[in-house]
Amino acid sequence: MKRFLKIYLDKPELAGLALLIVLVLVFQAKSNGILLSFENMRGVMGLLPEMALVAIGVTLLMICGEFDLSVGSVFALMPMSMAVILNSGVPFTVAVLLGLMICGAIGFINGYVTLQFSIPSFITTLGMLFIARSLTIVISGGFPPLLPPDLPTWLFTDYIWQGSPFRMSFLWLVVIAALV
């Protein structure tokens, strides 16, 4: 125990790891073994790539000493605008590119306003958070539009192989994380 305490005091960042282990053990016991079950891990791994991709972008901003509060609203705006574009008859690839261009334009506006007018990124992106959220609601009319049935779901949401805990979006995460 003394050795563990000495290591802990030498490296305080291990506190996060120790807390994680304790929490996993507690939740595993309280959930009667469901927390670490294959089905639960499969569900978590289905959501992980999207959140991790957002975290990669936010991490780059934080390294630069800035941060973006609008990322969640822009994260919702992209698929909503893409769905509306798809429903107007535009092909999938073009709709994805247009959706990404909309998000890129929002990021550019955030950066331009922050740098040009010396407004802290906190204020700039807080304003953009409300703009993007409002645009998402206005575009959708408050209800998500139906997607065309011929979308290539295999490219993002299908599992890599039968029984795999990972979706195809996990491969996208690995590639983009390696590039970053």
Q: What's the pLDDT at 23?
A: 95
Q: What's the pLDDT at 71?
A: 93
Whole-angstrom Cα distance, residue 56 to residue 162? Answer: 28
pTM: 0.79
Q: What's the pLDDT at 2?
A: 77
Q: What's the pLDDT at 16?
A: 80
- Which residue positions in the chain have pLDDT lower than 70? 1, 9
Whole-number CA gyration radius for the chain: 21
Q: What's the pLDDT at 177?
A: 95
Q: What's the pLDDT at 96?
A: 93
Nearest Cα neighbor of 77 from 48, 117, 45, 109 is 109
